[in-house]
Structure 1
Amino acid sequence: MRRLELKSPAKLNLYLKIIKKRRDGYHEILTLFERINLCDLIILEKHTRGIKVFLEGEDIPLKENLAYRAGLLISKKIGKKLGVKIRILKHIPIGAGLGGGSSNAATVLLGINHLYELGIDKGVLYEWGASLGSDVNFFLSEEKFALGYGRGEKLSLLKNIETRLWHLVIYPGFPILTSQIYRAFDGIGLTKKATNVRILIDSLRKGNIGKIGNLFFNSLEPVVLKNYPLLSFWREKLNSTSAKGVLISGSGSSIFGLYENRKEVERVRRELERFKKREVFFVVSTDC
């Protein structure tokens, strides 16, 4: 095999609670991940020598590109100079709270492992993934839903959940730096009582869409809304529709609403189009 084409999916955080700031500067969190069907496309091709990345749709310095770092990491860990061309066709906005970079890194780790038939165990990939980013392991898991803790790199996989959620995701047209939002959060702390993530997971298993939306929670949301009034505008607009729940994903910048079905999401998208300027709308569902 000389070439692989792989989908690199985005995620939403249906729940994100900041528990505490750790001595190492990171934050202890509890989060519920959902993998969605908004995807980048990654093409891996064997190459004579070295890791080469070709990025279409965005401009990221090579040393900051997580896919590039993932390629270098796997080469270093196995002690062999692998040759791989990595072509990334971007559809997931950068700095949007959708995990695009982490997903690209996970897809490269999984893909190179398969392309070169390295036989690296998933547990080992988890160890390497954690060194690249907090969300990488969720994408390595290839599960639809998972509970993340620690920095988000430790996982409790939620298997056999058949519920498919439908969302309207709004990217406001600008990225938000995760570090900026966490610093701002440290200045004010938790301002809203968290919902119960265990009840949320139970509702997810039962497919109770209304209850799922009512249990959405994000500790970072008040900080994001305070610093970015445009997102407050879109939160108000989504809340004025038939959304069962509305939430900022991760540290932003995307905001999403939960709906009963695709038909309803499409109707709401058309309804809100007239307010759109540079925003991008995505109709997405759980990646099945």
Structure 2
Amino acid sequence: MQRPALSTFFTSHFPLMLSFPNAKINLGLHIVAKRPDGYHNIESCFYPIPWCDALEVLPSEKLTFTSSGLDIPGTQESNLCIKAYHLLKKTYDLPGVHIHLHKVIPMGAGLGGGSSDGAFTLKMLNDLFELGIDVPTLQKLAGQLGSDCPFFIENKPVIATGTGTNFKGTALNLSGKYIAIKHPQIHVSTQKAYSLVKPAAPTHSIESILSKPIDQWKDVLQNDFEASVFAQFPEIRDVKNQLYSAGATYAAMSGSGSAVFGLFEQEISLEGFYTFEL
């Protein structure tokens, strides 16, 4: 593939770019089958929520990365923002950039924060350098960063199947509802969580459940990881119970945990929880 030349761009003319990569929640999560490649087919609704990091990209003589906020584990080269840059650099003659990430979304919480950072980096570089990469191609590139990354390219509610990268639009709209969410500072190993779940075809599809009123979701919209995770970490189950005691219409763990969220009809304030209007 021919590498598009970007020699007409001068770093001194580039504006600062700022975006706010957001988290997502899983509304239902079925582990449907284990694949021959060792991954799993799932069924879930990915829904974006307004809990955001802040991501800044500006031209620089070389690639540099800094961060603030929550400590980010791992090396700089393992960060998905840096991986996104190098992924595009393989095909496009990118100049250097300075990337600053202010980390707010907790890591290892089942909220997709790191995946969102990587996907937003792809989108920002595409815009900044006018690469002209279309949405399907951006989604394929994001899939090389991680299974949750493609969702954040369009960043709208979807029914996700396959390994979580096949999307079908959904009319679900939670605007006007309120969400309370808590990360109980417990690390749940995704690999171990998958190993403790027996894949099975669901009795009811998530799409059909979500077509019903929220007050009918409680006993049928299930996250298959909850049973084994709650058995290991009763504190996470206690957070879910606390949300229902506070009047949540629906509450669940997101992804493989450990963040737990509750949906409310009215604005609510709970000690130790972050709350947002959807």
- Maintained 8 Å contact 1:53/1:87: yes
Aligned partners of 1:200 and 1:168: how far apart in 2?
Answer: 22
Aligned partners of 1:226 and 1:42: how far apart in 2?
Answer: 37
For the pair 1:230 / 2:225, whether they are aligned, the reply is no
Aligned partners of 1:184 and 1:97: how far apart in 2?
Answer: 17
What residue number does 1:53 align with?
A: 65
The CA RMSD measured in Å over matched residues stands at 2.0
- Maintained 8 Å contact 1:168/1:283: yes
Aligned partners of 1:193 and 1:239: how far apart in 2?
Answer: 24
Q: For the structure 1 residues 195 and 162, does the alpha-carbon distance in structure 2 shift closer, same or farther, using more than 3 Å as the test?
A: same
> Which of 241, 263, 283 is residue 275 of structure 2 equivalent to?
283
Moved >4 Å (runs of 4+): 190-195, 212-215
Aligned partners of 1:115 and 1:200: how far apart in 2?
Answer: 41
For 1:233, give the aligned amino acid.
D
**Higher fraction of helix:** 1
- Maintained 8 Å contact 1:17/1:31: yes
2:27 alignment partner, SS class: strand
For the pair 1:64 / 2:78, whether they are aligned, the reply is yes
Shift of 1:159: 5.3
For 1:156, give the aligned amino acid.
K
For 2:76, give the aligned amino acid.
L
For the pair 1:32 / 2:32, whether they are aligned, the reply is no
For the pair 1:209 / 2:211, whether they are aligned, the reply is no
For 2:55, give the aligned amino acid.
I
What residue number does 1:173 align with?
A: 185
Deviations 1:167-226 (A, max 9, x none): 1111102332212211222xxx159965431223323xxxx3323455432111111111
Aligned partners of 1:35 and 1:199: how far apart in 2?
Answer: 20
For 1:198, give the aligned amino acid.
E
Shift of 1:156: 1.2
Shift of 1:77: 2.9
Shift of 1:235: 2.2
2:185 alignment partner, SS class: coil
Shift of 1:251: 0.2
What residue number does 1:196 align with?
A: 205
Shift of 1:160: 7.8
User: Which runs of 5 or more structure 2 residues have no equivalent in the other structure?
Assistant: 1-13
For the pair 1:14 / 2:27, whether they are aligned, the reply is yes
- Maintained 8 Å contact 1:166/1:261: yes
What residue number does 2:164 align with?
A: 152
Aligned partners of 2:106 and 2:257: how far apart in 1?
Answer: 11
For the pair 1:136 / 2:141, whether they are aligned, the reply is no
- Maintained 8 Å contact 1:214/1:244: no
Q: TM-score, normalised by structure 2?
A: 0.88
Deviations 1:9-30 (A, max 9, x none): 0000011110011111110001
Aligned partners of 1:201 and 1:170: how far apart in 2?
Answer: 23
Aligned partners of 1:42 and 1:196: how far apart in 2?
Answer: 36
1:256 alignment partner, SS class: strand
For 1:151, give the aligned amino acid.
T
For the pair 1:250 / 2:242, whether they are aligned, the reply is no
Deviations 1:60-95 (A, max 9, x none): 2213211111111111132x2431111110110000
What residue number does 1:218 align with?
A: 223
For 2:210, give the aligned amino acid.
I
Shift of 1:34: 0.8
Aligned partners of 1:18 and 1:160: how far apart in 2?
Answer: 21
2:193 alignment partner, SS class: helix
Aligned partners of 2:26 and 2:242: how far apart in 1?
Answer: 20
Aligned partners of 2:177 and 2:144: how far apart in 1?
Answer: 30
- Maintained 8 Å contact 2:218/2:251: yes
User: Where do residues 67-78 of structure 1 align in structure 2 (5 Å cutoff)?
Assistant: 67-78=81-92
Deviations 1:206-259 (A, max 9, x none): xx3323455432111111111112112222222222111111100001011111
Aligned partners of 1:62 and 1:113: how far apart in 2?
Answer: 21
- Maintained 8 Å contact 1:10/1:103: yes
Q: TM-score, normalised by structure 1?
A: 0.85
Percent identity of the aligned residues? Answer: 29
Shift of 1:162: 6.4
1:247 alignment partner, SS class: strand
- Maintained 8 Å contact 1:17/1:194: no
User: Which runs of 5 or more structure 1 residues have no equivalent in the other structure?
Assistant: 274-279
2:46 alignment partner, SS class: strand
